[in-house]
Amino acid sequence: MKLSVDLNDLGLPEYKVEELYPLGEMTYYDIEEPVKRSEEGGEPEDSFIYVKEFDCPLCGKKAANPIAKIAKLRPLGTEKDLRTRYKYFEPLKYDVLCCEGCGYAAIQTNFKPLAKPHKLLLDEKIRRPFQPGILKTGVLHFEDAILRYKRAITCSKVRLGKNGEIASLCLRMAWLLRSYSEWVTEESLVQEIKQEEIKYLAAAREGLVLARQKEGSVPGMPDLTVDYLIGILSMKLGYFQDAQKLFMAVIGNGMAAASQKDKARDRLAEVKEMLKNSL
């Protein structure tokens, strides 16, 4: 995908998605409802955002960033991999906060005080080489938002972020890319974005599996949700047997809510069918 600026232009290292986790051969199964969107009838995007100043946890300066107005969001539904779609607007574009004083970026919930060793790493690898660009504080294009996510992923890698954190960023990036593909009409660009989305979904799956194995849990996500999500990502990427095992584990878990078990039962039936058709 051609972005007008990449992280190297800002002096920052860039971790390509293939460098985050080994992705291997990928076969993709699209299990979501296809969606095409248009802005017709919607309010202008600037009515969905406001500008807020945050204290940068790395350099201490004020970082002004555009933020989505939560009260204006109108959910349209949740997809199988738990992405929520909203009417007329994509709030994911405004999730990452950036500081143009030092280059630091993180999603809003992680834009918080840093441990000293992490600060030292970020000072060396982000703050020192960073060459400030022009930080938009108004409406963001999808490509601006993709670059912000790449900055957040790079900063997370530099400060030795856990697999759960990096996997969550990859998943959100995949959702952002899917949303982007719904708004564009040029078929070659749709395909290019889709390929990138699939790589981020695969990276999210690898990261979530490692998080469950090595870190036990994923911050901000109940374990059962993580397992269900790994099941869905496995289903999308052709790991049907893994998906079956995970859905069966959710169904057999005494802590799972009835609605969660119902969803897992539906997905189990679907994945059994997919497995049969693949043989």
Binding site for Zn ion (CB under 5 A): 56, 58-59, 99, 101-102, 104
CA distances from 273 to 262, 266, 279 (A): 17, 11, 10
Shortest distance in whole angstroms from residue 57 CB to Zn ion: 8
Shortest distance in whole angstroms from residue 119 CB to Zn ion: 11
The residue among 99 and 237 lying less far from Zn ion, judged by its C-beta, is 99
Shortest distance in whole angstroms from residue 151 CB to Zn ion: 12
**Strand pairing report for 62-68 and 49-55:** antiparallel
Shortest distance in whole angstroms from residue 90 CB to Zn ion: 26
The residue among 59 and 167 lying less far from Zn ion, judged by its C-beta, is 59
The residue among 102 and 202 lying less far from Zn ion, judged by its C-beta, is 102
Shortest distance in whole angstroms from residue 53 CB to Zn ion: 12
Rounded CA separation 47/49 (Å) = 6
Shortest distance in whole angstroms from residue 55 CB to Zn ion: 9
Are 229 and 239 in contact by the 8 Å Cβ rule? The answer is no
The residue among 21 and 111 lying less far from Zn ion, judged by its C-beta, is 111
- DSSP string over 136-150: --SPPPHHHHHHHHH
Q: Can you state the angle between helices 258-278 and 223-236, rounded to 10 degrees?
A: 20
The residue among 64 and 221 lying less far from Zn ion, judged by its C-beta, is 64
The residue among 11 and 238 lying less far from Zn ion, judged by its C-beta, is 11
The residue among 59 and 203 lying less far from Zn ion, judged by its C-beta, is 59
**Residues whose CB is less than 8 angstroms from the CB of residue 44 and which lie 6 or more positions away in sequence, other chains included:** none
Burial letters for 161-194: b for 16+ Cβ neighbours within 10 Å, e otherwise? bbbbbbbbbbbbbbbbbbbbbbeeeeeeebebbe
Q: Indicate if the alpha-carbon torsion angle 260, 202, 194, 222 is positive or negative.
A: positive
**Residues whose CB is less than 8 angstroms from the CB of residue 118 and which lie 6 or more positions away in sequence, other chains included:** 159, 160
Shortest distance in whole angstroms from residue 273 CB to Zn ion: 51
